[in-house]
Amino acid sequence: MTRPALTHDVRIIDTTLRDGSHAMGHRFTEDQVRSTVRALDRAGVEWIEVSHGDGVGGSSFNYGFSGTDEMDLIAAAAEEAGRARIAVLLVPGIGTADDLRRAHAAGARMVRVATHCTEADISPQYFEVARELGMETCGFLMMAHRAEPKVLAEQARIMVDAGCQSVYVTDSAGALLMHEARERFEALVAEVGDQAWVGYHGHQNMSLGVANSVLGQQAGVRYFDGSLCALGAGSGNSPTEVLGAVFDRLGVRTGLDVASLLDAAEDVVRPYLPRWPKMDRNAIVQGWAGVYSSFLLHAERAAARYGVPAQDILRRCGELGYVGGQEDMIIDVAVQLAAEEEGTAPVDEREKEAVR
């Protein structure tokens, strides 16, 4: 598959209705999806990602049940979209090929296959299914701070050789400092940039998502993710409306109407926010310790249940090197920390099993 033609200097993909699902507790309503898609479409956004925060098939005990079936939300989004098209996320091991087929039937036309940054070899079968369906393909190398630039580029090569049309430096923890981000951008552009577009998905845990996006554009990155009002996991994503405004000031053509993006953020999304994405102590700890952004609400719930500070849970998760898909281990960490405070550690394995 060849990389798609770009109609502007860069392509901004909005993830409000997917990454934002984490911050919403996966409780998006059909009305919220419809109004958000209409507003993004008016602003000129080409691709809108819609699915459970952990991708298609993510509605579960481990990750959180969806308030509305995600296939209904995808169908509603596709129905409302005029110029825009609908994308979904798929995490191998959470979503299946059949989930992807159902998403396509509901109206999705792009899949973003997300793997840990060193596990790209589990993605090719999903790119093959996507090609059979005629879908556009992206690859997400999650927790990109955990792989050196050379290794990340080698993983990108696996995805591109499997038919991926764009491959992302995915800063799932919002941990990449500016020089670290640039090194990874340059490595991927050098390795696959003549065959596939390089993208960047940033989080604001260290307040660098937008700054790293500017560095990415200068390094040859052409796909950028954002969310209205920064709605996303952790302290949220690079705000779509800020990306639009910053690139406009830089003279970088996005095809987006900045005033309409601001209206969409302020008048459509802000009224339904359950909490304003912010760089508070817990979110900053995620970036500082390199912890997967979607762990935030799980850690806060475990903190309330077991009486230990959420920031301590998150720091321990960072020390243990947990990655996306290991949300169930947060309970283990909370139980262990509670036991340490009580002076009863180590916790008996049977006790840990009983609270799962």
In a domain, 351, yes or no: yes
Last residue of a domain, one of 242, 272, 302: 272
In a domain, 287, yes or no: no
Q: What is the CATH number of the domain that holds 308?
A: 1.10.8.60
pLDDT recorded at residue 84: 98
On whether 306 is known to bind a ligand per the annotation, the reply is: no
Number of domains into which the chain is organized: 2
In a domain, 54, yes or no: yes
Q: Are residues 18 and 70 in the same domain?
A: yes
In a domain, 4, yes or no: no
In a domain, 2, yes or no: no
Q: Which two tokens stand for residue 91?
A: 């995490």
Q: Are residues 348 and 209 in the same domain?
A: no
pLDDT recorded at residue 279: 85
Q: Report d(CA 69, CA 81) in Å as an integer.
A: 19
In a domain, 167, yes or no: yes
Query: What range does the domain containing 107 cover?
Result: 11-272
Q: Are residues 92 and 133 in the same domain?
A: yes
Q: Are residues 119 and 254 in the same domain?
A: yes
Q: Are residues 61 and 183 in the same domain?
A: yes
Residues 127-155 pLDDT 10s: 999 999 999 999 999 999 999 999 999 99
In a domain, 180, yes or no: yes
Sign of the C-alpha dihedral computed for residues 57, 62, 66 and 69 taken in this order: positive
Q: Are residues 186 and 303 in the same domain?
A: no
DSSP string of 319-349? HHT--TT-TTHHHHHHHHHHHHHHT-PSPPH
pLDDT recorded at residue 62: 81
249 contact partners, CB below 8 Å, separation of at least 6: none
In a domain, 282, yes or no: no
Q: Are residues 264 and 302 in the same domain?
A: no
pTM: 0.89
Q: Are residues 265 and 301 in the same domain?
A: no
pLDDT along the chain (356 residues), means of 10: 91 97 94 98 98 95 91 98 97 96 98 97 97 97 96 98 97 96 98 97 95 98 98 94 98 98 98 87 87 83 90 87 81 89 59 43
On whether 292 is known to bind a ligand per the annotation, the reply is: yes
Q: Are residues 184 and 305 in the same domain?
A: no
Helices (H), ranges, 2-148 = 20-23, 30-42, 70-80, 97-106, 124-133
On whether 19 is known to bind a ligand per the annotation, the reply is: yes
> Do the Cβ atoms of 18 and 89 come closer than 8 Å?
yes
Q: What is the CATH number of the domain that holds 149?
A: 3.20.20.70
Q: Report d(CA 212, CA 215) in Å as an integer.
A: 5
Q: Report d(CA 56, CA 118) in Å as an integer.
A: 21
Q: Report d(CA 46, CA 24) in Å as an integer.
A: 23
Q: Are residues 98 and 244 in the same domain?
A: yes
On whether 72 is known to bind a ligand per the annotation, the reply is: no
Q: Are residues 189 and 265 in the same domain?
A: yes
pLDDT recorded at residue 350: 40
| 346 upstream amide cis, omega within 30 of 0 | yes
Catalytic residue set: 22
